[in-house]
Amino acid sequence: MRRTSIAAALVFCALPLLADEQTTTTSTQPPVDSPLVAAAKAANRGAKPKKKIVITNETLLKSGGHITTTSTKAQQPLPPAPRVDAELDRLAAQQQKEYAAKVAADAKAKRDMEAKKRLAAERANAIYEGDDPDGIYEDPAQSEGRATQQSPATPQAPPTMQVQKPPV
């Protein structure tokens, strides 16, 4: 039994080597084209590149092309410009000025509000760190108590899960 299994394993390992030798001994023939590729090559053998056509006035006259131009008599004059009331122009200019002033005022108010918020944040930070003039003479315990009141609450850890043993 042991000899048979060893012989079978040797044959099994030798078969891929034998197959590899057979595939390397093929001749190097050029690949054969499919019928579609052969037909396309045959169709393009006798074809000459097409001449590019440039359209000019001479080629149009030779080929019988039509060129049309309009005469000055056929051209119609432009319609007259619409009348614009001076009062409407003045009102439009006034509205544009009012809108520009409103936008500028809104931008200034926004800048002022941001500056106030920034100054308040800087002052709060200075007080928190004890850099304000009043905080120099303050009791450290009071500063620490104020800092804990102003600081955000620390996140609480979720409760631990208690695992129960399965019944026996």
Distance CA 145, CA 151 (A): 10
Domain range annotation of the chain? 110-148
**Confidence at residue 112, expressed as pLDDT on a 0 to 100 scale:** 96
Span 58-67, average pLDDT: 72
- Determine the pLDDT at residue 20: 63
| pLDDT top residue among 103 and 62 | 103
- pLDDT tens for 13-55 read 777 777 766 554 556 677 788 888 888 888 777 666 677 878 8
Whether residue 109 has pLDDT greater than 80:
yes
The band of 99, judged by pLDDT with boundaries at 50, 70 and 90, is: very high
pLDDT of res. 157: 74
Confidence of residue 97 (pLDDT cuts 50, 70, 90): very high
The label of the residue with tokens 């108590």 reads 145
Lowest mean pLDDT among 45-49, 122-126, 158-162, 163-167: 45-49
Calculate the alpha carbon distances from 48 to 36, 45, 51, 54, 145 in Å. 21, 8, 9, 18, 95
Buried b (16+ CB within 10 A) or exposed e, 30-61: eeeeeeeeeeeeeeeeeeeeeeeeeeeeeeee
pLDDT digits (tens, 9 = 90+) for 113-150: 999 999 988 888 887 776 766 666 677 787 777 777 77
Query: How far apart, in whole angstroms, are the C-alpha atoms of residue 60 and residue 85?
Result: 52
Lowest mean pLDDT among 52-56, 76-80, 107-111, 133-137: 133-137
pLDDT at 117: 94
